[in-house]
Amino acid sequence: MLERWIPAAINTRPSEWSRAAIGMSLGTLLSVWLCAQVFGMDIALHLIGPLGASAVLLFAVSSGALAQPWSILGGYLCASVMALLVAHLIGRTLGSACLAAGLGLILMCWLRCLHPPAGALGLLLVLADPTTVALDWRVLGPVMLAAAVLLLSALAYNNLTRVRYPKGPSEPVPMVPAEQRPMDPHAITAEDLKLALADMQAFFDVTPEDLEQLIHASELHARRRSIGQVLAERVER
């Protein structure tokens, strides 16, 4: 039972960790700095927590569904609008902040822009500092500016460092060489995976196309292992 708490190894190299760390640092710095130039440092620093969390997604796990452009822009907008509505109707209390975060989650799921850091943003905007509260609905300006700058930073940095971004669900799956494709007519496809994910009724931060590629790659390694075992047995004989 205790082994379940031990995290699995990360399937990336230290060079990728460094690439993501540099991008996250530069992207967050640029986003907060530009927001501070336009709206003031107090407001910019009030948003730095959600921005840092978003930067982890955009630079370290940019292929995930939670890190796509519509996720951050739509997520920040949903969380901000819901937080401001709740603050006006109920007031700025701990309970109303948590309610705003929950309602923001529902709105993000409905609009297909789920972005975890937006939950923190909703809490912060309800329990905001006096400077941010004074902006009222104008707070959407610094929020969306910071999100847009962070997104543009991720777009530029990731592609310059040879990491394709964004990666939407409609992006075509790279062709798998014929010798790597499963010969079984009943092999699992992306369409099968979509149906399976729908049956499970749970959210997974991976696209069916990515799962299909992973399955095909696993089948290729299994066939290579099987061929290697057969050759080894023949050599022994």
* Domain ranges, ordered by start, for the chain: 13-160, 178-236
Tokens 């409905």 appear where? 110
Instruction: Say what angle helices 140-160 and 69-89 make with each other, to 10 degrees.
Output: 170
Pairwise CA distance, residues 159 & 155, whole Å: 6
Q: How much is the pLDDT for 171? A: 47
Tokens encoding 225 = 């292992």
Which alpha helices (DSSP H) does 90-139 contain, by range?
Answer: 94-110, 116-126, 130-135
pLDDT at 202: 54
The alpha carbon of 157 is separated from its chain's Cα centroid by a whole number of angstroms, namely: 16
Residues of the chain with pLDDT under 50: 170-175, 178, 180, 182
pLDDT at site 147: 97
- Give CA–CA dist 140/137, Å, rounded: 6
User: What's the start-to-end Cα distance of the chain, in Å?
Assistant: 43
What pTM was computed for the model?
A: 0.74
Give the per-residue pLDDT at 125.
96
DSSP state of 5: G
